[in-house]
Amino acid sequence: MKNLLLFLLLAFSIVLIKCKNSQPQIQEELSVGIDPDSGLQIDPNLMLVKGQCTACHSAKLITQNRFTREGWKDKIVWMQKTQNLWDLGEFEPAVLDYLEKYYSPEERASRRANLENVEWYDLNER
Ligand code: HEC
């Protein structure tokens, strides 16, 4: 009897330890990749984009928008025509690469997360 109790205790502890170690580190995965200073995605081109795109306004104008590569190009041309944005010159392709990669309409981050725990009801129910 005593042995059985000991065995159960041991088995229980092992299960507990396993549960503790298998907690997925979701929080860490989500927060990695965002520059805390600007809110922009971390990337080899981050510093370039920060230098070219955050001198006049907050990076929020970028992070809150989703455009295609052409859409971003149009915004840049519009800012050049009306807001005194300079010619990005040789940096333009890299800036567009970056914007397209993280802030295009297809990017997963722009989609609403799936609804969970919704209590659906029957429309015909009366
Ligand atoms: C020379 C100053 C300047 C620079 C540099 C600049 N912008 Fe802008 N941008 C502006 C101004 C001014 C506005 C209008 C802000 C407002 O409406 O409040 C603007 C607006 C925007 C908007 C919003 C456009 C809309 O349709 O609402 C986006 C997106 C944007 N900028 C992205 C960028 C990106 C990407 C870069 C880097 C390539 C950049 N900006 C660099 C001046 C600048």
Compute the half-sphere exposure of residue 33: CA atoms within 13 Å on the CB side of its CA. 8
Ligand 1 binding pocket (C-beta < 6 A) is 52-53, 55-57, 61-62, 65, 75-76, 79, 83-85, 95, 99
Answer yes or no: are the C-beta atoms of 66 and 73 closer than 8 Å: no
Give pLDDT, residue 28.
Answer: 42
Mutation test residue for ligand 1: of 70, 75, 99, the one with most atoms within 8 Å of CB: 75
Q: How far is the CA of 117 from the centre of ligand 1 (A)?
A: 39
What does pTM read for this prediction? 0.70
Please give the pLDDT value at position 107: 46
**Which residues of the chain register pLDDT less than 50?**
25-31, 107
Residue boundaries of the structural domains of the chain: 2-110
Backbone angles phi, psi at 38, to 5 degrees: -110, -20
Q: What is the pLDDT of residue 118?
A: 81
Handedness of CA 100, 105, 106, 109 (dihedral sign): positive
Q: Which structure tokens are listed for 87?
A: 């010619």
Quote the CA–CA distance of 55 and 83 in Å, as a whole number. 12
pLDDT in tens, 59-94: 999 999 999 999 999 999 999 999 999 999 999 999
